[in-house]
Amino acid sequence: MTASQPKLFVKSYGCQMNVYDAERMADALAPEGYVAAASAEDADVIVLNTCHIREKAAEKVYSELGRIRKMKAETGRSPIVAVAGCVAQAEGAEILKRSAVVDLVVGPQSYQRLPGLLREARAGARPVDTDFAVEDKFERLSPPTPKAIASRGVTAFVTVQEGCDKFCTFCVVPYTRGAESSRPVSQIVAETERLVAAGVREVTLLGQNVDAYHGEGPDGRDWSLARLLYELAEIPGLARLRYTTSHPRDMGDDLIAAHRDCPKLMPYLHLPVQSGSDRMLAAMNRRHTAADYLRLIARVRAAQPDLALSGDFIVGFPGETDADFEATMSIAREAAYASAFTFKYSPRPGTPAADRGGQVAEEVKTERLHRLQALIADQQAAFARALVGRRIEVLLDRAGRHAGQIAGRSPYLQPVQLVAPGARIGDLIEADVVDVGPNSLFAEPAGGARETRSMLAEAAV
C-alpha cells in the first residue's frame, strides 16, 4: 500500500438500500484517495454495513468481527474497522463494548461524515456517530466518478425516499432509518443523469416506503413517485425504471396509472402483505385488510395485466393460529406471486410485538415457512413456464458462463441466459423464451443465433 492509496473494503448485509449506501460510502472516500480492496485481508479500512431486521442478520456482524479479530492476529495487520448501517444505529456505543476490534460506529444517516470519522479513529478515538443529521446527507456526499459507475454495471439503485413512519409492530426500520423523508426531484434527476451518462440503462428507485415519496419538485410543490417516474423516463438512454419497496396504503392512483402509461416502468411490483389474516394485519399495525390488498393488486393488474407481483410474508407473528396461517396461504394463492420473500417472525428489541404473549414455537414457524415457501416456489415456476414461447425484452447485464453466452434480466426481473453473438452488456434485445431452469429463463435472440439451444443445454443452469 502507498500512503496516498488506502484500500477500502465495504461488506453489506440486508436490503438494497444498504447496497446503495455502500456505494455512496466508497464515493465519499474516493476524494480522500481510497481505492477498492479486493478483500478484507487486503484492506486498510473495513466497513461492515449491517442489517438489524431479523436477529440472524444482526448477529452476523459479530461473527464477522470475530473473523476480523482472528485475521488481525494472524496477519499482524491493523486495518481500521467500522460498523455502519442499521445495527450501528440500533446499538451505537454498545458495539464498542461488545467488540474491541471496532474502531468506529456510524449510522445510516451520518455516513457522509465518514472521512472525518476515519481521521478521528486513526488518531485513536473510537467515534460513534448515530445522529439523524439535520444536514442533507445526499447534498454532502461526493458523487460517483464515471469510472466507479461503470464498474458497478448497467443497473443501479437510487435512494429517493428514506425512513418510515408506519411503525409496524414487528419492525426496527422506523428506529434505525428514522422518520420518512424524500429527496428533492432535481437531486434525483441529476444523480440519474450522471448514472446514465456513464452507461447505466436501468435504475431502481429505493425507499422503505417508496410509494410514499413526496419530494420537492422544481415547481416548489411536492411531487408523487409517479410524477418522478415520468420525469426520469424523459432521460435519453435510460431504458428501464423500477421502484421498491411499496406499502399497500401508499399506492396512489397515479402510480397505478403509470404502470399502464409509462413504457419504461417495468411490469413488476414488490408489494409486501406480510399476512393474509386481518387479525394479524391489525396486530402488525399494517392498517389494511387482506381484501384491501387483493382489491389493490386487481387495480394494478387492470392497469398492467402483464404484471409480475412480488411480496414479503412473515409467518409465526405472535398470536398466529393455524387458521391465521391458512389465511396467509389463501391470500398467496389468490394473489399469484411471481416471487416472494418469506420470513419467520423474529422478535426485535424495542419493537412492540417482541414482548407480546402468544409467541409461536420455532418448529411451528419452520413448518409454516416450508409450506408457504413450497407454494411460492410453485407459483414462481408457473410464472416462468408461462413465458415459454413468448418474446420478451432482455437487458444484457453480465457475461455468460461460456463463450458467446451473455446474461440479462427479463422485464419481470428474472435472470435470462442467451447466446447472442455480437451483443454487448447494456444492450436491450428482443428474445424468445425457449426454456426455463430453476433460477433462469433461456432465450434466443429474436430472428437470430442458430445453435442457441445446444449451447444453452450444454451450459444448463
CB of 163 to ligand SF4, least distance (A): 9
Three cell numbers, residue 19: 447496497
Kindly state whether residue 173 participates in binding ligand F3S, applying the rule CB under 6 A. Answer: yes
List the helix and strand counts (H, then E) for the chain.
16, 19
Give the residue among 331, 280, 85 at the shortest CA–CA distance from 168: 280
In terms of DSSP H, where are the helices of 123-212? 137-140, 146-151, 173-176, 185-197
CB of 105 to ligand F3S, least distance (A): 15
Kindly state whether residue 348 participates in binding ligand F3S, applying the rule CB under 6 A. Answer: no
Place of cell 397505478: 256
Q: Among residues 286 and 368, whose Cβ is nearest to ligand SF4? A: 286
Helix (H) or strand (E) holding 36: strand 35-36
Number of residues that bind ligand SAH (CB under 6 A): 17
Rounded to whole angstroms, the Cα distance separating 77 from 435 reads 50
364 DSSP 8-state letter: H
CB of 265 to ligand SAH, least distance (A): 20
17's contact among ligand SF4, ligand F3S, ligand SAH, none, with CB below 5 to 8 A by partner kind, is: ligand F3S
Find the binder of ligand F3S among 6, 79, 85, 426 (CB under 6 A).
85
86: annotated binding-site residue?
yes
Find the binder of ligand F3S among 40, 80, 86, 384 (CB under 6 A).
86
Find the binder of ligand SF4 among 208, 224, 328, 379 (CB under 6 A).
208
What are the residues whose beta carbons fall under 8 Å from the beta carbon of 424, sequence distance 6 or more?
Answer: 396
Find the binder of ligand SF4 among 174, 347, 404, 421 (CB under 6 A).
174
187, 176 Cβ separation under 8 angstroms: no
Kindly state whether residue 90 participates in binding ligand SF4, applying the rule CB under 6 A. Answer: no
Kindly state whether residue 48 participates in binding ligand F3S, applying the rule CB under 6 A. Answer: no
* x/- letters, 231..260, toward ligand SF4 (CB under 6 A): ----------------x-------------
> Is beta strand 405-409 parallel, antiparallel or unpaired with respect to 391-399?
antiparallel
> 253-261 vs 290-303: helix axis angle to the nearest 10?
30
Strand partners for 433: 443
CB of 84 to ligand F3S, least distance (A): 10
Kindly state whether residue 171 participates in binding ligand F3S, applying the rule CB under 6 A. Answer: no
361 DSSP 8-state letter: P
Q: Which amino acid is at 310?
A: S
Kindly state whether residue 209 participates in binding ligand SF4, applying the rule CB under 6 A. Answer: yes
**Candidates 14-22, 143-151, 326-334, 391-399 — which segment interacts with ligand F3S by CB under 6 A?**
14-22
Residue-wise burial string across 281-294, b where 16 or more C-beta atoms lie within 10 A, e elsewhere:
bebbebebebeebe
CB of 47 to ligand SF4, least distance (A): 23
245, 208 Cβ separation under 8 angstroms: yes
Neighbours of 445 (CB within 10 A): 20
Place of cell 488518531: 123
CB of 108 to ligand SAH, least distance (A): 14
Number of residues that bind ligand F3S (CB under 6 A): 13
54's contact among ligand SF4, ligand SAH, ligand F3S, none, with CB below 5 to 8 A by partner kind, is: ligand SAH
14's contact among ligand F3S, ligand SAH, ligand SF4, none, with CB below 5 to 8 A by partner kind, is: ligand F3S
Site residues (CB under 6 A) for ligand SAH, limited to 32-91: 53-54
262: annotated binding-site residue?
no
Alpha carbon separation from 5 to 1, 2, 194, 395 (Å, rounded): 7, 5, 25, 35
Q: Cβ-count burial of 399 within 10 angstroms (0-12 exposed, 13-18 middle, 19+ buried)?
A: exposed
Question: Which residues make up the interface to ligand SF4 (CB under 6 A)?
Answer: 164, 166-168, 171, 173-174, 208-209, 247
Q: Name the binding residues for [4Fe-4S] cluster.
A: 15, 51, 86, 164, 168, 171
Question: Which residues make up the interface to ligand SAH (CB under 6 A)?
Answer: 53-54, 170-171, 173, 208-209, 245, 247, 272, 274, 312, 314, 343, 345-346, 348
